[in-house]
Chains A and B, each alone.
Chain A
Amino acid sequence: MKYIDYVQLNPFQKFWYNFKNAMIALPSNIGKVFKAIGRFFKKIFVGIGKGFAGYFTRFVKGDWATKLSYIIMGFGNIVRGQIGKGIIFLATEIAFILFMVTGLGQVGLGWSGIYNLGFFNNGKIGFHEKAYWAVDEVTGRRVHMPADNSMKLLLYGVMTLVIIALFIVIYVAATKSAYKIQQMKAAGEKPQSFKEDISALLDEKFHVTLLAFPTLTISIFTILPLIFMILIAFTNYDQSHNFFQWVGFETFGQIFATTGASALKGKTFIELTKWTLVWAVFATVLNYILGMVVALMINKKGIKLKALWRTLFVVTVAVPQFVSLLLMSQMLDFNNGAINLVLQHLGIIKEPINFLGDLSHPWIARITVIVVNIWVGIPYTILITSGILMNIPADLYESATIDGAGPVRSFVSITLPYMLFVTTPYLITTFIGNINNFNVIYLLCGSAQQSNELYRAGYTDLLVTWLFNLTTVSGDYNLAAAIGIMVFIVCATVSLLTFNLTKSAKNEEEFS
């Protein structure tokens, strides 16, 4: 369609036209996102491949000292005068070998960790699946012999894997260093002394020093648990399996089951995914639009006491969210809740409305949580948008008025595009935040919507609150982990897709 035709369309036709185009382009856009992900992984693998290639060429080109460094780390450095560095490499190697052999005296670390990780699925190789009481021969007292803790075994196995990965990095660095010093000698340069290396860490390599600690802590406290939790999804760890085993993709099969014993889990997953997306769209869009409208109203010329109105709205932010939500939940209570009582006294309703607990009409509770969320969320939007709104050049509005545009027209053609451009990243984060909006749903509904039509869930449960129920109430840990992975995939796809489509990503210079 040519531009001239497009301009002549009415707003609905325009919307339909854009919507149609977006839908047609959607598959290719999704494809693009996956291609980008593919490129990312390709880069990583190519990098690793190059590293290995370098590893072998260095070995071929290296002299005897360098070659020996491939077995005895740091040998090349020591021979050529970098004693301090060489000793550190050597010590690392010795420590690693000791760790792998002895496992620091802990069952499950080191080699046994790798062994357990691979084999604890069949439970036949000498694990204690049950705890028991033994009698100490010396004192004659009873002693508790705990069962093997497969959580611990899995955790230690993962820890061992991470340590091996770290060692490989250091090992490759050692071979590199040995080759480099060989080349330096060949070129007649004087190799850096240990002191110089250390001072380099405080000078031109200061970034390495600074980042070392955070990287270490992130690996221990973020990446390791993440790998651990992902692995849980592939086990049968639940209420009835304290000693759990690998089951592969069985849990994911349960999530997508439509028939058989797991049909209810599959149905619950589909039902809750649908509701989660509906909720996320409504919670995001309504809060955004309504918050902006309120902010616009406050900003309007001729409104007195602007600061007061703004403050009044923002004061609600000062009350902790969980307090206002629990209060709201009390007010909406079926038995003598304030809202029901007021409506009854005013004669608007005869019977009290079960806002949050009506199982036969779950949409009542769903609408209620969306409305309450608007009330909770609008102040934040006002806060964020007022500043940007005041920045829109007033002359744009003036010229629009002169051209005969009404308030709606100005909003749609000036305010909205401007705001969308600036706030799209914010919208995406809000959308993702709403997919995982635990507080509003959990504090408002609790278990009021629990239904036997769904597997350990209620109609207002989001995937994340279902996950919470599964872990804290019914102990289906593997199912919860699998759902967590699914939620991550949904969130990642949606945010990558939308962000890549936004103007802010495509054209960063516009509107500046």
Chain B
Amino acid sequence: MKKFVALVLAVLMMASVLVACGGGNKGGEATKTDTPKGDTPAAETLDIEDGAKLLVWSADKAVDLTKKLCEDFKAAHADKNIEIEVQVQGEDAAATQLLKDPDAAADVFSFASDQLSRLLKADSLAPVFSAEDVIARNSEDSVTVATVDGELMAFPETCDNGYCLIYDKSVVSDEQAKTLEGVLEACKAAGVKFVIDAGNGFYSCMFPFTGGLKIDGIKDDVQQFNDYNEDEVVATLKAFSDLFHKYSDIFMSSEDSRINAGFQETPHTVGAGIDGPWNVTADLAALGDNFGAAKLPTINVNGEDKQIISLHGFKYIGVNAVSKYPYAAQALADFLTNKESQVERAKAVAWAPSNEEALKDPAVTENAALSAIFEQKQYSVLQSGIAETFWTPMGALGNYLWQESANDEASIKAQLEKAIMLIKDE
């Protein structure tokens, strides 16, 4: 009996492991002919598959809205028996999650433009079937960024993935908000902090960008930079570094959520910060009438006031290349990014549309922070063709600027060169 029990246990152990590993079968393959890339069949109708089952990933904030839009989509195609499941998945990690196992990932998912190069490299995005239509209705920038070899690879969703200066009007006057020196001086007078997430490449790239560094796409897996003037970049970096050291008790490098936390404390511990639209609703709620938003300030480099250049990105809705129902997924992505959906999104979560017409909606034009971000957009580098290796070394460079006391031009130059070498990673 004992032996029997032992045997059963051993079998059970193995069975439980094996059962967990059962995989699905793939269907047979039909005959196919290759289409040369870029030769898109004209005016393709999105003929939705019957009984399609779609999985949608949406950011936490927008999940209720996405669910509602998906219901609308189902209602519009009631004859097709579509099933849609909406799961919460932050846009910042959508690519990471998807690349872990594309077969199990969402069919339709929302992601920010920084992940575009990763997804393209892994061939994880299906091209937009209804490209002509999508290109026509969205802003040129948002389309350009997602176009590779003449093919649009994702549906533009928002156009506000940038940042601007958010300040407490009781601390910083509108006039002071025009220069970085003014902002820091005002914060010093009030004894509150000024926050930039200088250790995060998304924000810290503004330091070298202000000095004239620009991104020039990716060639043979290597990040290219434009022909920049190194001395000018170094001088600008030094100007930033000097300011951070001069106001070392005011300047704070911390995650952008710290800005909102500081606004909520009484008395406020943060006077201003560089923040993105995802926190703006909360900032507005915390500051009320004292809420101020403006384009990024200028910084004085060797006597000349330079506008700080930011990074400006977009959010896209992508269709998983290995989706089992590509046409249904395309149709849903198309629906989720059409003008009406974008306006609803602007109203519900204050995300600025990439649709040119939706941009004229009062929900967008009356939003101070969005206006500030649009104003900043003309002083920005578009988040396009950025290698994945860009972020970490940029963040480390940012940390160096505010931490390291040896901030003479030679050491900063050496750091800049190291960062660029690591980004290129040849």
> Taking beta carbons and an 8 Å cutoff, which residues of A are in contact with B?
130-139, 141-147, 202, 206, 209-210, 212-214, 216-217, 221, 239-240, 242, 261, 264, 335-336, 351, 354, 357-360, 447-448, 450-453, 455-456, 472-475
Contacts and interface: CB of A to CB of B under 8 A. Distances in A.
B426 A261 contact: yes
B14 A455 contact: no
Given A135-B35, A450-B395, A143 B403 contact: no
21 contacts: A131-B321, A134-B35, A136-B32, A137-B30, A137-B31, A143-B30, A146-B322, A202-B3, A261-B426, A335-B193, A335-B254, A335-B258, A357-B399, A357-B403, A447-B392, A448-B199, A450-B199, A450-B399, A451-B396, A452-B396, A473-B392
Contact of A136 (B11, B14, B30, B254): B30
Contacts of A455: 422
Interface string B246-264: 0010001110001000000
Interface string B90-122: 000000100000000000000000000000011
Contacts of B34: 132, 134-135
| Residue from A209, A213, A351 having most chain B Cβ neighbours under 10 A | A213
B119 to A, nearest CB: 12
Main secondary structure of the interface of A (DSSP, over half): loop
A213 B14 contact: yes
A131 B396 CA distance: 35
B6 interface: yes
Interface in B34-57: 34-35, 37, 41, 47
Contacts of B127: 133
Interface residues of B, number: 56
A357 B121 CA distance: 33
A146 B399 contact: no
A359 B10 contact: no
A144 B326 contact: yes
Given A135-B33, A144-B326, A452 B418 contact: yes
B342 to A, nearest CB: 26
Contacts of A209: 7
Nearest to B47: A141
B415 A213 contact: no
Given A136-B31, A239-B388, A452-B418, A144 B126 contact: yes
B96 to A, nearest CB: 8
A452 B400 contact: yes
A213 B30 contact: no
B322 A144 contact: yes
Given A217-B13, A261-B426, A335-B258, 20 more contacts: A133-B35, A137-B30, A137-B33, A213-B10, A213-B11, A213-B14, A221-B17, A240-B121, A242-B122, A358-B403, A359-B399, A360-B403, A447-B199, A447-B392, A450-B199, A452-B396, A452-B418, A455-B422, A456-B392, A456-B422
Contacts of A354: 403
A210 B10 contact: yes
Nearest to B126: A144
A269 to B, nearest CB: 16
| Residue from A135, A336, A448 having most chain B Cβ neighbours under 10 A | A336
B397 A147 contact: no
A463 to B, nearest CB: 18
A209 B8 CA distance: 11
Contacts of A138: 30-31
A210 B37 contact: no
A131 B123 contact: yes
A451 B405 CA distance: 15
Given A135-B35, A450-B395, A147 B10 contact: no
Interface of B: 3, 6-7, 10-11, 13-14, 17, 30-35, 37, 41, 47, 96, 121-123, 126-127, 129, 193, 199, 221, 248, 252-254, 258, 269, 321-322, 326-327, 388-389, 392-393, 395-397, 399-400, 403-406, 415, 418-419, 421-422, 426
Contacts of A360: 403-406
A74 B98 CA distance: 49
A88 to B, nearest CB: 19
A107 to B, nearest CB: 11
A472 B122 CA distance: 15
B404 A210 contact: no
B149 to A, nearest CB: 12
Contact of B123 (A130, A264, A451): A130
Contacts of B396: 359, 450-452
Contacts of B405: 360
A474 B392 contact: yes
A485 B269 CA distance: 49
A7 to B, nearest CB: 55
Contacts of B418: 452-453
A336 B254 CA distance: 11
Given A131-B123, A139-B30, A240 B395 contact: no
- The 3 closest A-B CB pairs, nearest first, are A240-B221, A131-B123, A134-B32
Contacts of A133: 35, 126-127
| Residue from B41, B269, B389 having most chain A Cβ neighbours under 10 A | B389
Contacts of B126: 133, 144
Contacts of B397: 452
Contacts of A213: 10-11, 13-14
Nearest to B44: A142
A151 B419 CA distance: 31
